[in-house]
Structure 1
Amino acid sequence: MPSTGAPFDWSLVDIAVPLSSDRLPGVSMAGFRHRGPASMDIAMVAHPSVTLLIDLSEGEGLVHRGHARDLRGSAVVGLLPGALRAGGRVGECLQIRLEPAAAAVVLGAATELTGAVVSLDDVWGRDAGRIEDRLRTAASWGERFTIAADLLGRRLGSRPRVAPEVAFAWRQLRASRGRARVDCLAHEVGWSRKRLSARFRAQLGITPKRAARLVRFDHAARLLAAGHAAADVAAESGYVDQSHLHREVKSFTGLTPTAVAVAPWLAIDDVVWPASPPMRSPVTSGGHIPDFG
Protein backbone atom coordinates (compact mmCIF):
# COMPACT_ATOMS: atom_id res chain seq x y z
CA MET A 1 0.00 0.00 0.00
CA PRO A 2 2.35 2.75 -1.14
CA SER A 3 1.69 6.31 -0.12
CA THR A 4 -0.07 8.40 -2.74
CA GLY A 5 1.69 11.54 -1.60
CA ALA A 6 -1.64 13.42 -1.57
CA PRO A 7 -3.00 14.80 1.72
CA PHE A 8 -5.83 12.80 3.22
CA ASP A 9 -9.16 14.57 2.77
CA TRP A 10 -11.34 14.34 5.88
CA SER A 11 -14.16 16.16 4.07
CA LEU A 12 -14.84 12.83 2.31
CA VAL A 13 -15.35 11.03 5.63
CA ASP A 14 -18.55 10.96 7.67
CA ILE A 15 -17.88 10.42 11.37
CA ALA A 16 -20.16 9.08 14.08
CA VAL A 17 -19.59 8.88 17.83
CA PRO A 18 -21.70 7.00 20.39
CA LEU A 19 -24.14 8.47 22.84
CA SER A 20 -22.97 8.61 26.44
CA SER A 21 -25.12 5.58 27.25
CA ASP A 22 -22.94 3.45 24.95
CA ARG A 23 -19.64 4.48 26.55
CA LEU A 24 -17.68 2.19 28.82
CA PRO A 25 -14.78 3.00 31.16
CA GLY A 26 -11.49 2.60 29.33
CA VAL A 27 -13.22 2.26 25.94
CA SER A 28 -13.72 4.82 23.16
CA MET A 29 -15.44 4.21 19.82
CA ALA A 30 -15.98 6.04 16.56
CA GLY A 31 -17.47 5.11 13.19
CA PHE A 32 -16.11 6.22 9.83
CA ARG A 33 -17.67 6.13 6.36
CA HIS A 34 -15.37 7.07 3.50
CA ARG A 35 -17.23 8.57 0.53
CA GLY A 36 -14.19 8.90 -1.73
CA PRO A 37 -14.09 6.92 -4.97
CA ALA A 38 -10.40 5.98 -4.65
CA SER A 39 -8.29 4.13 -2.13
CA MET A 40 -7.41 5.94 1.09
CA ASP A 41 -3.95 5.93 2.63
CA ILE A 42 -3.20 7.32 6.06
CA ALA A 43 -0.26 6.97 8.46
CA MET A 44 -1.24 5.95 11.98
CA VAL A 45 0.37 7.69 14.96
CA ALA A 46 1.26 5.84 18.17
CA HIS A 47 -1.33 6.23 20.93
CA PRO A 48 -1.45 4.93 24.53
CA SER A 49 -4.19 2.44 23.74
CA VAL A 50 -4.79 -0.83 21.94
CA THR A 51 -6.78 -0.11 18.78
CA LEU A 52 -9.36 -2.33 17.14
CA LEU A 53 -10.07 -1.49 13.51
CA ILE A 54 -13.18 -3.42 12.49
CA ASP A 55 -13.62 -3.40 8.72
CA LEU A 56 -17.28 -3.15 7.74
CA SER A 57 -16.60 -2.58 4.05
CA GLU A 58 -17.82 -4.68 1.16
CA GLY A 59 -15.13 -5.82 -1.26
CA GLU A 60 -11.42 -5.10 -0.91
CA GLY A 61 -11.62 -3.30 2.42
CA LEU A 62 -8.97 -2.29 4.94
CA VAL A 63 -5.25 -2.91 4.46
CA HIS A 64 -2.49 -2.39 7.05
CA ARG A 65 1.18 -2.15 6.26
CA GLY A 66 3.75 -2.45 9.01
CA HIS A 67 7.32 -3.71 9.17
CA ALA A 68 6.82 -7.31 8.10
CA ARG A 69 3.73 -7.87 5.98
CA ASP A 70 0.47 -6.51 4.65
CA LEU A 71 -2.64 -7.44 6.60
CA ARG A 72 -6.14 -7.20 5.12
CA GLY A 73 -9.41 -6.81 6.99
CA SER A 74 -10.14 -6.16 10.66
CA ALA A 75 -7.09 -5.85 12.88
CA VAL A 76 -5.86 -5.25 16.41
CA VAL A 77 -3.04 -2.72 16.76
CA GLY A 78 -1.11 -3.23 19.98
CA LEU A 79 0.80 -0.63 21.94
CA LEU A 80 3.93 0.71 20.22
CA PRO A 81 3.47 -0.90 16.78
CA GLY A 82 6.02 1.38 15.10
CA ALA A 83 5.43 2.91 11.68
CA LEU A 84 2.08 1.74 10.32
CA ARG A 85 -0.21 2.82 7.53
CA ALA A 86 -3.88 2.02 7.09
CA GLY A 87 -5.73 2.25 3.83
CA GLY A 88 -7.33 0.37 0.96
CA ARG A 89 -10.81 0.79 -0.50
CA VAL A 90 -12.46 1.35 2.86
CA GLY A 91 -16.18 2.01 2.89
CA GLU A 92 -16.98 1.81 6.59
CA CYS A 93 -14.86 1.09 9.66
CA LEU A 94 -15.47 0.96 13.40
CA GLN A 95 -12.47 2.07 15.43
CA ILE A 96 -12.29 1.12 19.10
CA ARG A 97 -9.59 2.36 21.47
CA LEU A 98 -8.99 0.28 24.58
CA GLU A 99 -6.98 1.58 27.51
CA PRO A 100 -4.33 -1.08 28.28
CA ALA A 101 -6.12 -2.27 31.44
CA ALA A 102 -9.35 -2.71 29.48
CA ALA A 103 -7.50 -4.36 26.58
CA ALA A 104 -5.94 -6.90 28.96
CA VAL A 105 -9.44 -7.96 30.00
CA VAL A 106 -11.28 -7.70 26.67
CA LEU A 107 -8.57 -9.30 24.52
CA GLY A 108 -6.73 -11.38 27.07
CA ALA A 109 -3.45 -10.90 25.24
CA ALA A 110 -1.96 -7.58 26.27
CA THR A 111 1.63 -8.77 26.48
CA GLU A 112 1.52 -10.61 23.17
CA LEU A 113 0.02 -7.59 21.40
CA THR A 114 2.69 -5.08 22.38
CA GLY A 115 4.43 -3.89 19.26
CA ALA A 116 2.24 -6.11 17.07
CA VAL A 117 -0.49 -5.78 14.46
CA VAL A 118 -2.61 -8.91 14.15
CA SER A 119 -5.88 -9.83 12.51
CA LEU A 120 -9.04 -9.82 14.62
CA ASP A 121 -9.38 -13.52 13.79
CA ASP A 122 -6.07 -14.18 15.55
CA VAL A 123 -7.47 -12.73 18.76
CA TRP A 124 -11.16 -13.72 18.71
CA GLY A 125 -11.18 -16.71 16.35
CA ARG A 126 -14.60 -17.60 14.92
CA ASP A 127 -16.27 -14.90 17.01
CA ALA A 128 -14.54 -12.24 14.89
CA GLY A 129 -16.52 -13.08 11.76
CA ARG A 130 -19.82 -13.24 13.64
CA ILE A 131 -19.14 -9.88 15.26
CA GLU A 132 -18.29 -8.30 11.90
CA ASP A 133 -21.48 -9.67 10.34
CA ARG A 134 -23.66 -8.31 13.14
CA LEU A 135 -22.05 -4.89 12.93
CA ARG A 136 -22.13 -4.79 9.12
CA THR A 137 -25.84 -5.57 8.91
CA ALA A 138 -26.90 -3.18 11.70
CA ALA A 139 -29.35 -0.50 10.57
CA SER A 140 -27.40 2.50 11.94
CA TRP A 141 -24.18 3.55 13.63
CA GLY A 142 -26.18 3.93 16.81
CA GLU A 143 -27.14 0.26 16.67
CA ARG A 144 -23.53 -0.67 15.91
CA PHE A 145 -22.27 1.19 18.96
CA THR A 146 -24.86 -0.55 21.13
CA ILE A 147 -23.81 -3.96 19.81
CA ALA A 148 -20.13 -3.20 20.38
CA ALA A 149 -20.75 -1.78 23.87
CA ASP A 150 -22.75 -4.86 24.84
CA LEU A 151 -20.03 -7.21 23.59
CA LEU A 152 -17.21 -5.32 25.30
CA GLY A 153 -19.21 -4.76 28.46
CA ARG A 154 -19.90 -8.48 28.86
CA ARG A 155 -16.21 -9.28 28.44
CA LEU A 156 -15.22 -6.56 30.91
CA GLY A 157 -17.70 -7.86 33.45
CA SER A 158 -16.92 -11.56 33.20
CA ARG A 159 -13.12 -11.73 33.20
CA PRO A 160 -10.45 -11.08 35.84
CA ARG A 161 -9.28 -7.49 35.95
CA VAL A 162 -5.71 -6.31 36.27
CA ALA A 163 -4.33 -5.74 39.77
CA PRO A 164 -5.72 -2.56 41.38
CA GLU A 165 -2.15 -1.35 41.95
CA VAL A 166 -1.36 -1.69 38.23
CA ALA A 167 -4.60 0.05 37.23
CA PHE A 168 -3.85 2.87 39.68
CA ALA A 169 -0.34 3.34 38.31
CA TRP A 170 -1.68 3.55 34.76
CA ARG A 171 -4.32 6.12 35.74
CA GLN A 172 -1.68 8.25 37.45
CA LEU A 173 0.58 8.10 34.39
CA ARG A 174 -2.31 9.28 32.21
CA ALA A 175 -3.39 11.98 34.66
CA SER A 176 0.16 13.34 34.94
CA ARG A 177 0.64 13.14 31.15
CA GLY A 178 3.53 10.78 31.63
CA ARG A 179 5.41 12.81 34.23
CA ALA A 180 4.67 10.72 37.35
CA ARG A 181 7.81 9.02 38.67
CA VAL A 182 7.70 5.23 38.80
CA ASP A 183 9.34 5.06 42.23
CA CYS A 184 6.71 7.44 43.60
CA LEU A 185 3.92 5.33 42.13
CA ALA A 186 5.46 2.21 43.67
CA HIS A 187 5.58 3.94 47.05
CA GLU A 188 1.93 4.99 46.76
CA VAL A 189 0.74 1.43 46.11
CA GLY A 190 3.05 -0.06 48.74
CA TRP A 191 5.18 -2.06 46.32
CA SER A 192 8.83 -1.96 45.42
CA ARG A 193 9.70 -0.34 42.10
CA LYS A 194 10.87 -3.73 40.82
CA ARG A 195 7.60 -5.43 41.73
CA LEU A 196 5.47 -2.68 40.19
CA SER A 197 7.48 -2.76 36.96
CA ALA A 198 7.25 -6.55 36.74
CA ARG A 199 3.50 -6.73 37.41
CA PHE A 200 2.78 -3.74 35.18
CA ARG A 201 4.63 -5.31 32.28
CA ALA A 202 3.14 -8.76 32.84
CA GLN A 203 -0.42 -7.43 32.83
CA LEU A 204 -0.27 -4.50 30.38
CA GLY A 205 2.58 -5.61 28.13
CA ILE A 206 4.71 -2.53 28.69
CA THR A 207 6.94 -1.22 31.49
CA PRO A 208 5.78 1.82 33.50
CA LYS A 209 8.77 3.80 32.23
CA ARG A 210 7.97 3.05 28.60
CA ALA A 211 4.29 3.74 29.24
CA ALA A 212 5.18 7.13 30.69
CA ARG A 213 7.18 7.96 27.57
CA LEU A 214 4.27 6.95 25.34
CA VAL A 215 1.75 9.01 27.32
CA ARG A 216 4.07 12.03 27.29
CA PHE A 217 4.61 11.65 23.54
CA ASP A 218 0.85 11.50 22.97
CA HIS A 219 0.38 14.76 24.85
CA ALA A 220 3.18 16.38 22.86
CA ALA A 221 1.81 15.11 19.53
CA ARG A 222 -1.60 16.58 20.26
CA LEU A 223 -0.03 19.94 21.14
CA LEU A 224 1.95 19.87 17.89
CA ALA A 225 -1.21 19.07 15.94
CA ALA A 226 -2.93 21.98 17.69
CA GLY A 227 -0.37 24.32 16.14
CA HIS A 228 1.98 24.97 19.06
CA ALA A 229 5.65 25.59 18.33
CA ALA A 230 7.99 22.66 18.97
CA ALA A 231 10.02 24.59 21.55
CA ASP A 232 6.87 25.39 23.53
CA VAL A 233 5.65 21.81 23.24
CA ALA A 234 8.95 20.51 24.58
CA ALA A 235 8.71 22.76 27.64
CA GLU A 236 5.01 22.04 28.24
CA SER A 237 5.46 18.28 27.92
CA GLY A 238 8.45 17.99 30.24
CA TYR A 239 11.20 17.30 27.72
CA VAL A 240 14.69 18.56 28.46
CA ASP A 241 14.77 20.63 25.29
CA GLN A 242 13.56 20.68 21.69
CA SER A 243 16.19 18.13 20.62
CA HIS A 244 14.86 15.72 23.24
CA LEU A 245 11.35 16.17 21.85
CA HIS A 246 12.65 15.57 18.33
CA ARG A 247 14.31 12.29 19.36
CA GLU A 248 11.21 11.01 21.13
CA VAL A 249 8.87 11.89 18.26
CA LYS A 250 11.27 10.21 15.84
CA SER A 251 11.42 7.15 18.09
CA PHE A 252 7.65 6.70 18.23
CA THR A 253 6.72 7.67 14.68
CA GLY A 254 9.80 7.81 12.47
CA LEU A 255 8.70 11.39 11.70
CA THR A 256 9.87 14.85 12.65
CA PRO A 257 7.77 17.06 14.94
CA THR A 258 6.90 19.18 11.89
CA ALA A 259 5.51 16.14 10.08
CA VAL A 260 3.57 14.96 13.14
CA ALA A 261 1.99 18.42 13.44
CA VAL A 262 0.22 17.92 10.10
CA ALA A 263 -0.47 14.19 10.41
CA PRO A 264 -4.01 13.45 9.15
CA TRP A 265 -4.39 10.78 11.83
CA LEU A 266 -4.33 13.53 14.49
CA ALA A 267 -6.23 16.17 12.55
CA ILE A 268 -9.65 15.36 14.01
CA ASP A 269 -8.66 13.63 17.23
CA ASP A 270 -10.50 16.01 19.54
CA VAL A 271 -13.65 15.81 17.43
CA VAL A 272 -13.72 12.03 17.18
CA TRP A 273 -12.65 11.18 20.73
CA PRO A 274 -14.76 13.47 22.96
CA ALA A 275 -13.35 11.94 26.16
CA SER A 276 -9.99 13.52 25.34
CA PRO A 277 -9.25 16.97 26.78
CA PRO A 278 -9.95 19.51 24.01
CA MET A 279 -6.85 21.26 22.73
CA ARG A 280 -8.12 23.02 19.65
CA SER A 281 -11.31 23.98 17.90
CA PRO A 282 -13.05 21.25 15.87
CA VAL A 283 -12.05 21.22 12.22
CA THR A 284 -14.60 22.82 9.97
CA SER A 285 -13.34 21.44 6.69
CA GLY A 286 -13.38 17.78 7.69
CA GLY A 287 -16.04 15.20 8.40
CA HIS A 288 -19.19 15.80 10.43
CA ILE A 289 -20.66 14.04 13.44
CA PRO A 290 -24.24 12.86 13.00
CA ASP A 291 -26.55 13.19 15.98
CA PHE A 292 -27.87 9.74 16.87
CA GLY A 293 -30.83 10.30 19.09
Structure 2
Amino acid sequence: MYREWKVAGVPGGVLWRSVSGGGETRVLPDGCLDLLWSSRSGLLVAGPDRTAHLSRSAPGDRWIGLRLPPGTGPAVFGVPAEELRDRRVPLADLWGSAAAEVTERVEAALAAPGDGAAAVLAGVARDRLRAAGGPDPIGAHVAARLAAGATVAATAAEVGLGPRALHRRSRALFGYGPKTLARILRMRRALDLARAGAPLAEVAVRSGYADQAHLTREVRELAGVPPTRLLAPARSRAQAS
Protein backbone atom coordinates (compact mmCIF):
# COMPACT_ATOMS: atom_id res chain seq x y z
CA MET A 1 0.00 0.00 0.00
CA TYR A 2 1.49 3.33 -1.09
CA ARG A 3 0.19 6.83 -1.56
CA GLU A 4 1.74 10.26 -2.01
CA TRP A 5 0.63 13.87 -2.03
CA LYS A 6 2.14 17.32 -2.52
CA VAL A 7 3.19 19.41 0.43
CA ALA A 8 2.68 23.15 0.85
CA GLY A 9 5.65 25.32 1.69
CA VAL A 10 8.28 22.97 0.29
CA PRO A 11 8.46 23.66 -3.46
CA GLY A 12 8.44 20.40 -5.36
CA GLY A 13 8.22 18.38 -2.13
CA VAL A 14 6.17 15.19 -2.01
CA LEU A 15 4.94 13.42 1.11
CA TRP A 16 4.38 9.67 0.95
CA ARG A 17 3.53 6.75 3.17
CA SER A 18 3.78 3.02 2.63
CA VAL A 19 3.10 -0.31 4.30
CA SER A 20 5.36 -3.01 2.93
CA GLY A 21 4.17 -6.38 1.73
CA GLY A 22 7.68 -7.70 2.29
CA GLY A 23 10.44 -8.61 -0.11
CA GLU A 24 12.79 -6.51 -2.21
CA THR A 25 12.14 -3.13 -3.80
CA ARG A 26 14.31 -1.60 -6.51
CA VAL A 27 14.51 2.15 -5.80
CA LEU A 28 15.61 4.01 -8.92
CA PRO A 29 17.93 7.03 -8.72
CA ASP A 30 16.15 10.38 -9.10
CA GLY A 31 18.49 13.09 -7.80
CA CYS A 32 16.30 13.56 -4.71
CA LEU A 33 16.96 13.36 -0.98
CA ASP A 34 14.33 11.99 1.40
CA LEU A 35 13.58 12.55 5.07
CA LEU A 36 12.18 9.21 6.22
CA TRP A 37 10.56 7.64 9.25
CA SER A 38 10.74 3.85 9.39
CA SER A 39 8.95 1.61 11.89
CA ARG A 40 12.13 -0.47 11.89
CA SER A 41 14.87 2.18 11.85
CA GLY A 42 13.39 5.48 13.03
CA LEU A 43 14.32 8.74 11.31
CA LEU A 44 16.67 8.46 8.36
CA VAL A 45 17.98 10.53 5.48
CA ALA A 46 18.15 8.84 2.08
CA GLY A 47 20.86 10.42 0.00
CA PRO A 48 20.95 10.72 -3.79
CA ASP A 49 21.72 7.39 -5.47
CA ARG A 50 23.87 6.95 -8.55
CA THR A 51 22.37 3.53 -9.31
CA ALA A 52 19.34 1.60 -8.09
CA HIS A 53 19.15 0.90 -4.38
CA LEU A 54 17.79 -2.52 -3.40
CA SER A 55 15.71 -2.27 -0.25
CA ARG A 56 14.57 -5.32 1.70
CA SER A 57 11.68 -5.15 4.13
CA ALA A 58 9.46 -7.41 6.21
CA PRO A 59 5.68 -7.59 5.79
CA GLY A 60 4.03 -4.77 7.71
CA ASP A 61 7.06 -2.46 7.81
CA ARG A 62 5.76 1.12 7.72
CA TRP A 63 7.34 4.14 6.08
CA ILE A 64 6.54 7.84 6.03
CA GLY A 65 8.67 10.13 3.91
CA LEU A 66 9.21 13.58 2.51
CA ARG A 67 10.88 13.53 -0.90
CA LEU A 68 12.79 16.72 -1.62
CA PRO A 69 13.38 17.67 -5.26
CA PRO A 70 16.91 17.84 -6.70
CA GLY A 71 18.86 20.71 -5.16
CA THR A 72 16.63 21.26 -2.10
CA GLY A 73 17.94 18.64 0.31
CA PRO A 74 21.21 20.38 1.25
CA ALA A 75 19.34 23.45 2.54
CA VAL A 76 17.15 21.20 4.72
CA PHE A 77 19.81 18.84 6.07
CA GLY A 78 22.66 21.33 6.30
CA VAL A 79 25.26 19.24 4.48
CA PRO A 80 26.34 18.98 0.81
CA ALA A 81 24.45 16.29 -1.06
CA GLU A 82 27.68 14.52 -2.01
CA GLU A 83 28.23 13.66 1.68
CA LEU A 84 25.01 11.64 1.57
CA ARG A 85 25.47 10.06 -1.87
CA ASP A 86 24.48 6.37 -2.01
CA ARG A 87 23.87 6.37 1.77
CA ARG A 88 21.03 5.94 4.30
CA VAL A 89 22.01 7.93 7.37
CA PRO A 90 20.30 8.22 10.79
CA LEU A 91 19.04 11.79 11.17
CA ALA A 92 20.80 11.97 14.53
CA ASP A 93 24.15 11.70 12.72
CA LEU A 94 23.39 15.02 11.02
CA TRP A 95 21.36 16.94 13.61
CA GLY A 96 22.50 15.47 16.90
CA SER A 97 20.12 16.09 19.80
CA ALA A 98 17.74 18.06 17.55
CA ALA A 99 16.79 14.77 15.87
CA ALA A 100 15.50 13.42 19.20
CA GLU A 101 12.98 16.25 19.42
CA VAL A 102 11.75 15.48 15.90
CA THR A 103 11.47 11.79 16.82
CA GLU A 104 9.31 12.65 19.84
CA ARG A 105 7.01 14.78 17.69
CA VAL A 106 6.68 12.07 15.04
CA GLU A 107 5.95 9.34 17.60
CA ALA A 108 3.34 11.51 19.32
CA ALA A 109 1.64 12.13 15.97
CA LEU A 110 1.68 8.42 15.16
CA ALA A 111 -0.41 7.76 18.24
CA ALA A 112 -3.29 9.71 16.67
CA PRO A 113 -5.20 8.89 13.48
CA GLY A 114 -4.47 10.72 10.24
CA ASP A 115 -1.30 12.02 8.62
CA GLY A 116 0.06 14.00 11.54
CA ALA A 117 3.47 12.33 11.38
CA ALA A 118 3.87 13.32 7.74
CA ALA A 119 2.85 16.86 8.68
CA VAL A 120 5.64 16.90 11.28
CA LEU A 121 8.22 15.99 8.63
CA ALA A 122 6.87 18.68 6.31
CA GLY A 123 6.89 21.29 9.08
CA VAL A 124 10.48 20.48 10.03
CA ALA A 125 11.58 20.84 6.40
CA ARG A 126 9.72 24.15 6.02
CA ASP A 127 11.38 25.52 9.14
CA ARG A 128 14.83 24.42 8.03
CA LEU A 129 14.34 25.89 4.56
CA ARG A 130 13.18 29.18 6.02
CA ALA A 131 16.18 29.33 8.36
CA ALA A 132 18.54 28.61 5.46
CA GLY A 133 16.99 31.32 3.28
CA GLY A 134 15.53 28.72 0.91
CA PRO A 135 17.25 26.33 -1.47
CA ASP A 136 19.95 27.49 -3.86
CA PRO A 137 17.91 28.75 -6.87
CA ILE A 138 20.52 27.45 -9.28
CA GLY A 139 19.64 23.90 -8.24
CA ALA A 140 16.04 24.08 -9.43
CA HIS A 141 17.05 25.78 -12.68
CA VAL A 142 19.79 23.29 -13.52
CA ALA A 143 17.58 20.29 -12.68
CA ALA A 144 14.67 21.64 -14.73
CA ARG A 145 16.81 22.32 -17.79
CA LEU A 146 18.53 18.94 -17.66
CA ALA A 147 15.18 17.20 -17.12
CA ALA A 148 13.92 18.94 -20.27
CA GLY A 149 16.83 17.54 -22.26
CA ALA A 150 19.15 20.57 -22.36
CA THR A 151 22.85 19.84 -22.70
CA VAL A 152 25.22 20.39 -19.79
CA ALA A 153 27.08 23.07 -21.78
CA ALA A 154 23.88 24.97 -22.56
CA THR A 155 22.72 24.71 -18.96
CA ALA A 156 26.05 26.00 -17.65
CA ALA A 157 25.82 28.98 -20.01
CA GLU A 158 22.27 29.75 -18.86
CA VAL A 159 23.25 29.91 -15.19
CA GLY A 160 26.47 31.80 -15.89
CA LEU A 161 28.89 29.14 -14.66
CA GLY A 162 31.86 27.50 -16.31
CA PRO A 163 31.97 23.72 -16.63
CA ARG A 164 34.17 23.21 -13.55
CA ALA A 165 32.14 25.60 -11.41
CA LEU A 166 28.89 23.90 -12.47
CA HIS A 167 30.38 20.51 -11.62
CA ARG A 168 31.38 21.66 -8.12
CA ARG A 169 28.00 23.30 -7.52
CA SER A 170 26.18 20.21 -8.79
CA ARG A 171 28.07 17.85 -6.49
CA ALA A 172 27.04 19.98 -3.52
CA LEU A 173 23.41 20.34 -4.67
CA PHE A 174 22.67 16.95 -6.24
CA GLY A 175 25.41 14.63 -4.99
CA TYR A 176 27.03 14.18 -8.39
CA GLY A 177 28.03 16.15 -11.46
CA PRO A 178 25.57 17.49 -14.04
CA LYS A 179 26.29 14.73 -16.56
CA THR A 180 25.28 12.04 -14.08
CA LEU A 181 22.16 13.98 -13.09
CA ALA A 182 21.29 14.42 -16.78
CA ARG A 183 21.61 10.66 -17.37
CA ILE A 184 19.37 9.89 -14.40
CA LEU A 185 16.72 12.42 -15.37
CA ARG A 186 16.78 11.24 -19.01
CA MET A 187 16.23 7.65 -17.86
CA ARG A 188 13.27 8.68 -15.75
CA ARG A 189 11.82 10.70 -18.64
CA ALA A 190 12.19 7.69 -20.92
CA LEU A 191 10.52 5.35 -18.44
CA ASP A 192 7.62 7.77 -18.03
CA LEU A 193 7.10 7.77 -21.80
CA ALA A 194 7.29 3.97 -21.92
CA ARG A 195 4.79 3.60 -19.09
CA ALA A 196 2.47 5.91 -21.00
CA GLY A 197 2.47 3.36 -23.83
CA ALA A 198 5.13 4.59 -26.25
CA PRO A 199 7.18 1.81 -27.93
CA LEU A 200 10.78 1.64 -26.76
CA ALA A 201 12.20 2.59 -30.16
CA GLU A 202 10.09 5.76 -30.10
CA VAL A 203 10.99 6.39 -26.46
CA ALA A 204 14.68 6.26 -27.34
CA VAL A 205 14.34 8.89 -30.06
CA ARG A 206 12.13 11.20 -28.03
CA SER A 207 14.40 10.97 -24.99
CA GLY A 208 17.62 11.72 -26.85
CA TYR A 209 19.21 8.27 -27.02
CA ALA A 210 21.02 7.18 -30.16
CA ASP A 211 18.74 4.17 -30.53
CA GLN A 212 16.86 1.55 -28.51
CA ALA A 213 20.07 -0.37 -27.76
CA HIS A 214 21.58 2.78 -26.26
CA LEU A 215 18.46 3.25 -24.12
CA THR A 216 18.67 -0.34 -22.89
CA ARG A 217 22.37 -0.02 -21.98
CA GLU A 218 21.82 3.21 -20.07
CA VAL A 219 18.84 1.87 -18.13
CA ARG A 220 20.69 -1.33 -17.28
CA GLU A 221 23.69 0.66 -15.99
CA LEU A 222 21.57 2.96 -13.81
CA ALA A 223 18.75 0.63 -12.77
CA GLY A 224 20.54 -2.72 -12.81
CA VAL A 225 17.94 -4.30 -15.12
CA PRO A 226 16.74 -3.60 -18.68
CA PRO A 227 13.75 -1.32 -19.27
CA THR A 228 11.42 -4.22 -19.97
CA ARG A 229 11.89 -5.35 -16.34
CA LEU A 230 10.89 -1.91 -15.11
CA LEU A 231 7.70 -1.61 -17.11
CA ALA A 232 5.79 -3.91 -14.77
CA PRO A 233 3.62 -2.11 -12.15
CA ALA A 234 5.86 0.62 -10.75
CA ARG A 235 7.31 0.49 -7.30
CA SER A 236 7.98 3.81 -5.68
CA ARG A 237 10.89 5.29 -3.82
CA ALA A 238 9.26 4.01 -0.65
CA GLN A 239 11.08 1.64 1.70
CA ALA A 240 14.37 3.39 0.88
CA SER A 241 16.22 2.05 3.88
Superposed pair shares fold, TM > 0.5: yes
Equivalent in the alignment of 1:43: 26
Distance 1:143 1:264, change over 3 A: same
Secondary structure of 1:100's partner? coil
In the comparison of the two structures, how many residue pairs are matched?
Answer: 234
SS in 2 for 1:265: coil
Distance 1:216 1:14 in 2: 25
Quick one: structure 1 residues 23 and 41, their matched pair in 2 at CA, closer, same or farther if it must change by over 3 Å? farther
Structure 1, gaps ≥5 residues long? 1-12, 62-71, 273-293
Per the alignment, residue 5 of structure 1 pairs with: none
Mapped partners of 2:95, 2:138: distance in 1: 28
Structure-2 separation of matches of 1:221 and 1:205: 22
Residues 205 and 53 from structure 1, CA distance in 2 versus in 1: closer, same or farther, beyond 3 angstroms? same
Q: Percent identity?
A: 29
1:49 is displaced (CA, Å) by 1.0
CA contact under 8 A between 1:225 and 1:261: conserved in structure 2? yes
Q: Is it true that 1:29 corresponds to 2:15 in the alignment? A: yes
Which range moved further: 43-52 or 94-103?
43-52
Match of 2:97 among 100, 121, 126: 126
Match of 2:235, SS state, is helix
Q: Hey, what does 2:53 align to over in structure 1? A: 84
Structure-1 residue corresponding to 2:122: 149
Deviations 1:68-98 (A, max 9, x none): xxxx554322222534222124443112211
Structure 2 portions without partners, runs of 5+: none
Shift of 1:206: 1.6
The answer to whether the aligner puts 1:137 opposite 2:108 as a matched pair is: yes
* Per-residue deviation, 1:196: 2.1
2:141 matched to which residue of 1?
A: 168
Q: Residue deviations 1:38-91, cap 9 Å, x none?
A: x34322122231123311x3xxx3xxxxxxxxxx55432222253422212444
Check 1:167–1:225 CA distance in 2 against 1; reply closer, same or farther (3 A cut).
Answer: closer
CA distance in 1, matches of 2:59, 2:70: 30
Report the secondary structure of 1:17's partner residue. Answer: strand
Q: Is the 8 A contact 2:170 2:176 kept in 1?
A: yes
Q: Letter of the 2:17 partner, please give it.
A: G
Distance (Å, rounded) in 1 between the aligned partners of 2:105 and 2:136: 33
> 2:152: which partner in 1?
182
Matched, 1:205 2:188: no
The whole-number CA distance in structure 2 between the counterparts of 1:167 and 1:51 is 16
1: distance between equivalents of 2:155 and 2:218? 23
Letter aligned with residue 201 of structure 2? A
Equivalent AA in structure 1 for residue 106 of structure 2: L
Aligned 8 A contact 1:224 1:260 in 2: no
**Cross-structure match for 2:194:** 224
Q: CA–CA distance in 2 between the matches of 1:117 and 1:154? A: 22
Using the TM superposition, give the Cα deviation of residue 198 of structure 1 relative to its aligned residue in structure 2, in angstroms: 2.5
Cα RMSD of the aligned pairs, angstroms, is: 2.6
Q: What is the rounded CA distance, in whole Å, between the counterparts of 1:16 and 1:212 in structure 2?
A: 25
User: So what's the TM-score if we normalise by structure 2?
Assistant: 0.83
TM score, norm. by length of structure 1:
0.70
Q: Does 1:53 pair with 2:36? A: yes
- Partner of 1:219, secondary structure, is helix
